[in-house]
């Protein structure tokens, strides 16, 4: 059972006790309500959510929660409303309404009783903001699917990959429509993984977009992913000024098919991660990839390379704690997800090689954002280590950051980054995880007892 659905079931059945702070009592109230009916399919909520105002949408969410609707289903309905009503190009900007849903789910899972609904209300609020922006730009809507007669999902998947790589928009969308008429799995997204890694579009949003959509869609038992796959196709084929960086992809593609023997084994070595961090501070993209391959050939586990890349991303954020620098971390997180779920060894390798190649691009692109007083900071310097939590305190510090974020949530990059941080802190060696948290403290919201606008609106809807 989906963990978030299971949580909802346990809450409603009384198997788990609720203990929410007094200031969040209205948020906890929905959890005490008993469901008197079996909810109809969540797909019936997509259109009402799409056309609702913020106030109407919040009231709808509150009613559905009280009636027993799961958070996962409501997040899924918000996502499908978004992919049908927010133009999927450029990948980024207003499209974040569709790129933060899985992050909201991760944060909901990490939240204590009484606060788990907050990310849901943020997702709805963010969708409404994006819809207003989209309307100002012409009011895009997803049209009817193209004809795909004679295409079964299996053959369509093979043709989808070829069409994406050939930038054949019509054929790619036709294949996506055929694939989406059946429930999707991780394997359904293999072509999207390759296409998402090709270029550094809009500071690396394409792999983030692909993984956010896939992580939600693979949980659906229903054949509901057709609009999602169609808009994903449109976004992946969007060109940008970063297309010249496709040369990195073209260089790494043959390398991914000729990796060192046993490269996915090896031994995790924290010292190798810090060595790679030092290399990434100065290296070109080509040198970063070569050094990564050397470490793999020497028996270092891929996990240590991922740690090194994420330490480098955290150092960028430490020096420039603002919106754009978080993408160095969140795109690496997306690459790592691809490497974890892909069934193709060459794709798993390509994700790692592209993450290595993009690290210097982030360093160069974001250098103008570095604050002068922070320019000499390093993620492993004494000052960073002084604010890094100990292993025993790290969980509590992450919980504090999560709580303060959800109290003040107003910007989607913060949610996207916080969810990636929670994921990666679980996978990193203790020393590195502590340094990730140290870097986060300069970017995520500071403690504030007064709730932000979205939290206040959510409380009002749930107490009505």
| 345 and 255 within one domain | yes
What does the chain come to in residues? 464
133 is a domain residue:
no
Boundary-marking domain end, from 221, 236, 251? 236
Output the 3-class SS for 198-237.
CCCCCCCHHHHHHHHHHHHHCCCCCCCCHHHHHHHHHHHC
Q: Is 266 left (phi over 0), alpha (psi -120 to 50) or beta?
A: left
Q: What are the beta bridge partners of residue 299? A: none
Which of 216, 136, 135, 128 lies closest to 457, judged by CA? 128
Backbone φ and ψ of 267, nearest 5°: -115, 130
Q: Which residues contact 232 (CB under 8 A, 6 or more apart)?
A: 83, 88, 176, 192, 209, 210, 213
| 8 A C-beta contact, residue 354 and residue 345 | no
Res 239: pLDDT? 79
pLDDT of residue 135: 95
pLDDT value at position 20?
A: 38
Q: Are residues 248 and 232 in the same domain?
A: no
459 within domain boundaries: no
217 and 273 fall within a common domain: no
Domain of 210, in residue numbers: 153-236
Question: Domain end: 180, 213, 236, which one?
Answer: 236
Report yes or no on whether pTM surpasses 0.85.
yes
Both 223 and 251 in a single domain?
no
**Pair 291, 191 in one domain:** no
217 and 283, same domain (yes or no): no
Q: For residue 220, what are its two tokens?
A: 């659906």
Q: What is the pLDDT of residue 3?
A: 52
Tens of pLDDT, residue by residue, the chain (464 residues): 455 544 443 333 333 222 333 344 445 444 434 344 455 799 999 999 999 999 999 999 999 999 999 999 999 999 999 999 999 999 999 999 999 999 999 999 998 888 899 999 999 999 999 999 999 999 999 999 999 888 887 889 989 999 999 999 999 999 999 999 999 999 999 999 999 999 898 899 999 999 999 999 999 999 999 999 999 999 999 976 555 578 999 999 999 999 988 999 999 999 999 999 999 999 999 999 999 999 999 999 999 999 999 999 999 999 999 999 999 999 999 999 999 999 999 999 999 999 999 999 999 999 999 999 999 999 999 999 999 999 899 999 999 999 999 888 889 999 999 999 999 999 999 999 999 999 999 999 988 768 889 999 998 998 88
Within-domain flag for 373: yes
Domain boundary among 186, 203, 236: 236
- 163 falls within a domain: yes
Give the model's pLDDT for residue 10: 36
Question: Residues 275, 324: one domain?
Answer: yes
Best CA proximity match to 148, nearest among 187, 189, 183, 182: 182
CB 312 within 8 A of CB 304: no
Assess if residue 147 is contained within a domain. no
CA distance 291 to 293: 5
**Number of domains the chain contains:** 2
pLDDT of 46 reads: 98
Same domain, 230 and 263: no
CA distances from 432 to 331, 389, 398, 399 (A): 18, 11, 14, 18
Asked if 257 and 202 sit in the same domain, the reply is no
Residues 347 and 261 in one domain: yes
d(CA 57, CA 54): 5
Is residue 322 assigned to a domain? Answer: yes
Identify the CA nearest to 357 among candidates 305, 416, 425, 409. Answer: 305
Task: Work out the angle at residue 78's Cα, subtended by the Cα atoms of residues 75 and 82, and round it to the nearest 5 degrees.
Answer: 140
Distance of CA 331 to the CA centre of its chain: 8
Query: Is the domain of 254 the same as that of 288?
Result: yes
The reported pLDDT for the residue numbered 241 is 57
> Are both 252 and 374 inside the same structural domain?
yes
Q: Is residue 219 part of a domain?
A: yes
End-to-end CA distance of the chain: 31
pLDDT at residue 8 in the model: 46
How crowded is residue 89: how many other Cβ atoms within 10 Å of its Cβ? 18
In a domain, 359, yes or no: yes
Alpha carbon of residue 202 to chain centroid = 16
């Amino acid at each position: 059972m989906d963990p978030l659905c299971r949580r909802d079931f346990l809450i409603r059945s009384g198997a788990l006790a609720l203990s929410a702070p007094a200031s969040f009592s209205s948020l906890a109230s929905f959890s005490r309500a008993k469901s008197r009916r079996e909810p109809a399919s969540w797909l019936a909520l997509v259109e009402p959510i799409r056309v609702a105002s913020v106030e109407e949408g919040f009231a709808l969410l509150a009613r559905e929660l009280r009636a027993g609707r799961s958070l996962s289903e409501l997040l899924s309905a918000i996502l499908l409303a978004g992919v049908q009503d927010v133009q999927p190009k450029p990948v980024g900007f207003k499209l974040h309404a569709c790129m933060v849903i899985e992050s909201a789910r991760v944060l909901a899972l990490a939240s204590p009783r009484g606060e788990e609904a907050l990310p849901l209300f943020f997702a709805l609020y963010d969708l409404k903001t994006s819809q207003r922006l989209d309307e100002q730009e012409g009011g895009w809507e997803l049209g009817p699917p193209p004809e795909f007669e004679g295409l079964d999902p299996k053959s369509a998947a093979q043709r989808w990959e070829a069409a994406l790589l050939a930038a054949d928009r019509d054929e790619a969308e036709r294949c996506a429509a055929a694939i989406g008429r059946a429930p999707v799995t991780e394997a359904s997204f293999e072509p999207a993984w390759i296409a998402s890694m090709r270029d550094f579009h809009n500071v690396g949003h394409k792999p983030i977009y692909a993984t956010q959509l896939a992580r939600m869609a693979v949980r659906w038992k229903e054949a509901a992913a057709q609009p999602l796959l169609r808009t994903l196709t449109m976004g992946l084929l969007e060109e940008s000024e970063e297309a010249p960086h496709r040369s990195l992809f073209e260089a790494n593609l043959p390398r991914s098919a000729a990796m060192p023997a046993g490269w996915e084994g090896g031994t995790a070595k924290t010292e190798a991660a810090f060595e790679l961090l030092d290399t990434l501070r100065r290296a070109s993209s080509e040198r970063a990839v070569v050094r990564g391959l050397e470490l793999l050939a020497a028996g270092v586990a891929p996990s240590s390379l991922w740690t090194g890349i994420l330490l480098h991303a955290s150092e960028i954020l430490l020096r420039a704690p603002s919106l754009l620098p978080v993408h160095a971390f969140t795109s690496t997180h997306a690459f790592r997800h691809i490497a974890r779920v892909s069934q193709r060894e060459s794709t798993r390798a390509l994700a790692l090689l592209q993450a290595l190649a993009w690290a210097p691009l982030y360093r160069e692109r974001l250098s103008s954002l570095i604050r002068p007083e922070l320019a000499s900071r390093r993620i492993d310097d004494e000052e960073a280590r002084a604010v890094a939590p100990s292993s025993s305190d790290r969980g509590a510090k992450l919980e504090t950051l999560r709580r303060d974020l959800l109290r003040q949530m107003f910007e989607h990059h913060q949610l996207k980054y916080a969810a990636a941080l929670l994921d990666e802190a679980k996978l990193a060696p203790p020393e590195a995880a502590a340094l990730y948290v140290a870097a986060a403290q300069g970017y995520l919201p500071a403690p504030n007892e007064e709730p932000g606008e979205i939290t206040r609106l959510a409380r009002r809807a749930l107490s009505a």
